[in-house]
Every structure is written in structure tokens, then in C-alpha cells.
């Protein structure tokens, strides 16, 4: 997928979106990418209905622009920040802007939810994750940002070898190169005996070779787990290893369910306190240079 050196972050001025903005500024500073900050004035909102005249909408947009400038605050040196106001449905406008500017990824905050509600992702974030062809990074909770910035480096990549993984590995490699960090490739064995274990270890070894050929430091791990859920294992390992990012595919549980987020992906996105990067399958005719290296290496997939 061909993208530009831009990060798109959508904010609605609530706490979670402002946390996402803070992370987006940090990622922009590391990557030296430009930052596009947008907010959407919902067409169905009370204000839009009450003040439908062009003059009043202009005033509302000016106020929103002022608010954006205030929350952006200081700008990291060498980073260009652009702002824009859109009118309409938030998830539709976010996707429209993404298609226009072709960002490397999109940042979105998601609500802090109690444990019994964690499987449910905010509707705007969910729509963008499902409908956008660009990678989406979601942020949950108010994790100590200074701790994250100083101690979290490794990118965790849990792979399901029974599903498509080429795009997931490609994205992880590109992020590792962008941020100068290492990858932890994880496979989780929930069933089967020694034969399946050896098969997974062989595939992990092949993935490690491909990643190291791309110039990225890589470690692999196979965890055998029959009791805990896959999201629980991933969450525990991300905390233990102080992961900076978890990279997942969002359609590993039936591509026929085009507009349904798989349960494992949903639980990972909703349950982790660190950023989660959601990847969609993309057209291999628009691959990056790394995709040609990673796609079906040594009959792996």
C-alpha cells in the first residue's frame, strides 16, 4: 500500500481522543512524519440542527479550529502539523480524509471501559478499523505516558498461521524500521501435540529469517496455552515485555463477515492499555517493497 509520510489523528476533545493526540505527536516526532489533526462536527448534532445557516456553521467551525489549536499545544521540532474541520458523520469523514491524504496510519482514542464491557469498541473507532484501508492505531485508557515513552520499545506481533499474516508482518517490519526497534513474533498453540508444535516452530523460524533479512532485530516465542484466551495471553505478554505496540489483523475469523470485528481482535483492541495497530488485508498490486519480500516466503503461508 502506497502511503505518504503523514499521521492522521481524529479528535472530539474528550479525554481519550486527547490521549490519542499525545501519542500521535510522539510517533510523529520519532518518525519525522507530518501530523494531520482533524475534528468532525456531526451533521446530526444539536448545534448543527439549531444553527443550520452558513454563517453560523462558519462560526462553529472557527470555534472548533480555535479549540484544536489550543489542544495541540507545543509542536515537536521539525514536525509540520495541519488541522482541518469537517462536517458530517465522524467515521465517514475520517475515512474520506484518509483516502485524500493517504496517511501511514490513523490514530484514534477509545473509551475507558469497565472489564465487563471491554469487548465493545466505540462505534466510530470500530467503523474506521473495519472500513479504512489504512492501518489504525487505537489508544485506550490513560497509561502513564512518560513510562511508556521511556520504557516501551519492542513491537509484539501475535501470528495466527491458519490465517493471512503477510500484511501483518509487513506492517510490523515497516514500523520497526520507522522507529528503530525490535520485533517479538508470537505464536500461541491452543490444541495439538508435538507435531503441531514443531510445525509452528518451523514457521516461526522462517518468519524470523525474513524479518532479519529486512534488517530488523527479531525474537520469536511459542506459548502453549489451553486454559486462558488468546487475548489474555497477548495482554499478559505485552505487559511483561513492556511492548510499545501490538500489531494484529482484524479479519482472522471469517472474511465473509465483512463488517464484523472478530472476537479476538475486538478483545485485544478493547483490553490493552498500550497502542494496538489494526491491519486490514490489502491489494497485493499496491504492496510496499517489503511486501514482495514477505509475501509467501518459502511457501510459509
Q: Over range 23-41, report the average pLDDT.
A: 90
pTM over 0.85: no
Instruction: Write the pLDDT tens digit of every residue in 168-198.
Output: 898 899 889 988 899 999 999 998 899 999 9
pLDDT band of 130, cuts 50, 70, 90: confident
For domain 1-140, give its CATH number from 3.40.50.2000, 3.40.50.300, 1.10.3720.10, 3.40.50.620. 3.40.50.620
pLDDT at 83 > cutoff 50: yes
pLDDT at 52 > cutoff 80: no
Instruction: Write the pLDDT tens digit of every residue in 4-15.
Output: 899 999 988 888
CATH architecture of 143-301: 3-Layer(aba) Sandwich (3.40)
Select the more confidently predicted residue: 90 or 58.
Answer: 90
d(CA 112, CA 102): 29
- The answer to whether residues 105 and 46 touch, using CB atoms and an 8 Å cutoff, is no
Question: Going by C-beta distance under 8 Å and a sequence separation of 6 or more, which residues neighbour residue 147?
Answer: none
Geometric angle at alpha carbon 15, from 12 and 18, rounded to 5°: 65
- What are the sequence ranges of the domains in the chain? 1-140, 143-301
Instruction: Write the pLDDT tens digit of every residue in 223-237.
Output: 999 889 999 999 999
Geometric angle at alpha carbon 143, from 37 and 219, rounded to 5°: 95
Question: Going by C-beta distance under 8 Å and a sequence separation of 6 or more, which residues neighbour residue 114?
Answer: none
pLDDT at 31 > cutoff 90: no
d(CA 111, CA 141): 7
Select the more confidently predicted residue: 176 or 299.
Answer: 176
Radius of gyration of the chain (CA): 20
**pLDDT value, residue 198:** 96
Mean pLDDT of the residues in the chain:
80
d(CA 29, CA 137): 16
pLDDT band of 255, cuts 50, 70, 90: very low
pLDDT at 205 > cutoff 80: yes
Question: Going by C-beta distance under 8 Å and a sequence separation of 6 or more, which residues neighbour residue 35?
Answer: 6, 7, 9, 24, 25, 28, 79, 80, 81, 82
Amino acid at each position: 500500500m502506497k502511503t505518504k509520510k503523514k499521521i492522521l489523528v481524529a479528535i472530539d476533545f474528550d479525554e481519550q481522543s486527547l490521549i490519542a493526540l499525545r501519542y500521535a505527536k510522539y510517533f510523529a516526532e520519532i518518525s519525522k512524519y507530518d501530523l494531520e489533526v482533524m475534528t468532525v462536527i456531526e451533521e446530526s448534532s444539536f448545534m448543527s440542527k439549531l444553527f443550520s445557516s452558513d454563517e453560523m456553521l462558519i462560526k462553529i467551525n472557527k470555534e472548533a479550529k480555535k479549540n484544536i489549536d489550543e489542544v495541540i499545544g507545543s509542536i515537536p521540532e521539525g514536525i509540520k502539523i495541519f488541522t482541518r474541520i469537517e462536517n458530517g458523520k465522524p467515521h465517514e469523514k475520517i475515512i474520506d480524509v484518509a483516502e485524500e491524504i493517504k496517511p501511514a496510519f490513523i490514530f484514534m482514542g477509545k473509551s475507558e471501559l469497565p472489564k465487563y464491557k471491554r469487548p465493545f469498541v466505540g462505534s466510530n473507532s470500530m467503523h474506521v478499523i473495519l472500513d479504512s484501508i489504512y492501518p489504525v492505531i487505537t489508544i485506550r485508557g490513560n497509561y502513564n505516558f512518560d513510562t511508556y515513552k521511556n520504557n516501551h520499545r519492542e513491537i509484539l506481533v501475535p501470528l495466527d498461521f491458519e490465517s493471512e499474516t503477510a500484511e501483518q508482518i509487513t506492517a510490523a517490519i515497516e514500523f520497526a524500521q520507522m522507529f528503530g526497534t525490535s520485533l517479538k513474533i508470537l505464536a500461541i498453540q491452543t490444541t495439538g501435540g508435538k507435531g503441531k508444535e514443531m510445525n509452528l516452530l518451523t514457521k516461526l523460524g522462517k518468519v524470523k529469517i525474513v524479518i532479519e533479512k529486512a534488517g530488523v532485530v527479531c525474537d520469536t516465542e511459542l506459548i502453549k496455552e489451553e486454559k486462558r484466551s488468546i487475548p489474555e495471553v497477548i495482554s499478559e505478554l505485552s505487559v511483561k515485555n513492556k511492548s510499545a505496540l501490538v500489531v494484529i489483523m482484524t479479519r482472522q475469523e471469517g472474511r465473509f463477515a465483512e463488517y464484523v470485528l472478530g472476537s479476538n481482535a475486538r478483545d485485544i483492541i478493547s483490553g490493552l492499555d498500550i497502542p494496538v495497530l489494526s491491519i486490514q488485508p490489502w491489494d497485493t498490486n499496491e504492496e510496499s517493497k517489503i511486501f514482495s519480500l514477505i509475501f509467501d516466503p518459502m511457501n510459509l503461508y
